[in-house]
Amino acid sequence: MGSKMEKFKNIILGVVFVGLMFVICNVRAERSPWTEDYYNRGWCEQKGGVAEHRLPNGKRVDCLLDKYAVEADWANYKAYEAIGQSLYYAKETNRHPAVLLIVKDEDGMKWVKMVSKTMKYYHIKSKVWYIIAYERMESVK
Tens digit of each residue's pLDDT (9 = 90 or more) over 70-115? 999 999 888 999 999 999 999 999 999 999 999 988 888 999 999 9
Cβ 76 vs Cβ 108: under 8 Å: yes
Within 8 A by CB and 6+ apart from 126, the residues are 68, 86, 90, 96, 97, 98, 99, 119
Reduced to 3 states (helix: H, G, I; strand: E, B; else coil), residue 62 is strand
Residues 6+ apart with CB under 8 A from 11: none
**Residue 70: exposure state from Cβ atoms within 10 A (0-12, 13-18, ≥19):** buried
pLDDT of residue 29: 42
Q: Which amino acid is at 27?
A: V
* pLDDT score of 134: 72
Query: What is the model's pTM?
Result: 0.72
Per-residue pLDDT of 18-60, as tens digits, reads 555 555 554 444 445 678 999 999 999 999 999 999 999 999 9
The pLDDT assigned to 98 comes to 97
The answer to whether 87 touches 119, Cβ cutoff 8 Å, is no
Give pLDDT, residue 115: 95
CA gyration radius, the chain? 20
**pLDDT recorded at residue 33:** 64
